[in-house]
């Protein structure tokens, strides 16, 4: 099933609404919905960037499938309480960052949105790394990365719609 840009933007907008509602009303019962909205909004935003960017067509994008497989296998290991979870997740996160950084370094000319994508990837992966290992200030880094990421996604959508780079028909 092809995911339409309209669906991704609607998902991101709905996520913004749930997160804003959760922040404004500070409802304890809504915390789980706020966390879910944060995760879904982040993944929808990442997919929107991937789908409409140049990384999708590069040779390196084929290797991201291996990284995704490591995350899925690592999730299974975590559920089953098997050893090796840290190594799988760590390797997957590092491979995402390395693959995109190599792609970024070979891309010419670099625009502000390209630098923003690299910053977002590093922030989001660092926050996931800190949360996974339960390091100090992991939640603060997660909030900062989420805020920066959601702000960037909103900026990306507005700029791309104005310039015509983001089509709502595909």
In a domain, 130, yes or no: no
Q: Which of these, 148, 91, 157, 143, lies nearest to 118 by C-alpha position?
A: 148
Going by pLDDT thresholds of 50, 70 and 90, the confidence category of residue 38 is: confident
99 or 3, higher pLDDT: 99
Rounded to the nearest integer, the mean pLDDT of the chain is 82
> How far is residue 43 from each of residues 1, 12, 94, 135, 166, measured CA to CA in Å?
17, 9, 18, 23, 18
- 72 domain-assigned: no
Residue 64 lies in a domain: no
First vs last Cα of the chain: how many Å apart? 12
Is 79 part of any domain?
no
Q: Is residue 115 part of a domain?
A: no
> What six digits make up the tokens of 58?
């590069």
Does a structural domain hold residue 122?
Answer: no
pLDDT tens across 80-132, in order? 888 988 888 888 888 888 988 998 998 888 888 888 888 888 888 888 888 87
What number is the average pLDDT over the span 124-147?
A: 84
pLDDT of residue 160: 81
Domain with 8 in it: 1-54+135-170
In a domain, 109, yes or no: no
pLDDT at 2: 64
Residue 77 in this model has a pLDDT that exceeds 80: yes
Looking at per-residue pLDDT, the higher value among 16 and 83 belongs to 83
pTM for the whole structure: 0.72
Contact in structure between 153 and 12 (CB atoms under 8 Å)? yes
Q: Is 46 a member of any domain?
A: yes
Domain count, the chain: 1
Task: Considering only residues 169 and 26, tell me which one the structure prediction assigns the higher pLDDT.
Answer: 26
């Amino acid at each position: 099933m092809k995911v339409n840009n309209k669906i991704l933007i609607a998902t991101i907008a709905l996520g913004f609404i749930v997160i804003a509602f959760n922040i404004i009303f500070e409802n304890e019962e809504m915390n789980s919905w706020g966390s879910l909205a944060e995760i879904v909004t982040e993944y929808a935003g990442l997919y929107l960037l991937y789908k409409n960017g140049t990384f999708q067509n590069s040779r390196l994008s084929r290797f991201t499938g291996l990284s995704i497989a490591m995350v899925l296998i690592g999730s299974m290991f975590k559920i089953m309480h098997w050893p090796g979870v840290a190594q799988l997740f760590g390797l997957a996160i590092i491979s995402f960052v390395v693959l995109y950084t190599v792609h970024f370094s070979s891309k010419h000319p670099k625009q502000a949105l390209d630098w923003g994508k690299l910053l977002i990837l590093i922030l989001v992966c660092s926050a996931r790394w800190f949360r996974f290992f339960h390091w100090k200030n992991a939640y603060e880094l997660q909030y900062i990365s989420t805020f920066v990421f959601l702000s960037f996604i909103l900026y990306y959508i507005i700029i791309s719609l104005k310039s015509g780079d983001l089509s709502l028909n595909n």
